Structure 1
Amino acid sequence: MSASGEIELSLAGEPCPCGATGCLEVIVSGPTITRHAPTHGWQPTLAEDAAARES
């Protein structure tokens, strides 16, 4: 039995560390959402932008 994050949702998805592609873990992970958000119209607020520069 595999972990719940290793459920394949898309054969054309991004590669997963488990060796498969399009796993739930890769699609809904924080880094993936952050990477794809700007291409879907998200823009950081001034406070978020300032916090990112401070870290």
Structure 2
Amino acid sequence: MQFVYTILALGWLLLLVHLMWIALAAKKRNTKRIWCLTWTAILILVATLLTITLEHVVRVN
């Protein structure tokens, strides 16, 4: 299972780097796109944390 967590962490890191790159390269007219990508990243983080929490609860029980 540690392998899955490593892959998730690397994927999350790549997504954050991609978002920072877009934010630095974007102009003011692309603000909507940046917010969309930011919310996507936040939802991915929440889904990852929820999955880890649920797996921990199932493993404890």
Relative to the length of structure 2, the TM-score reads: 0.27
**Which structure is higher in RCO with an 8 Å CA cutoff and minimum separation 6?**
2
Q: Which one has the bigger helix percentage?
A: 2
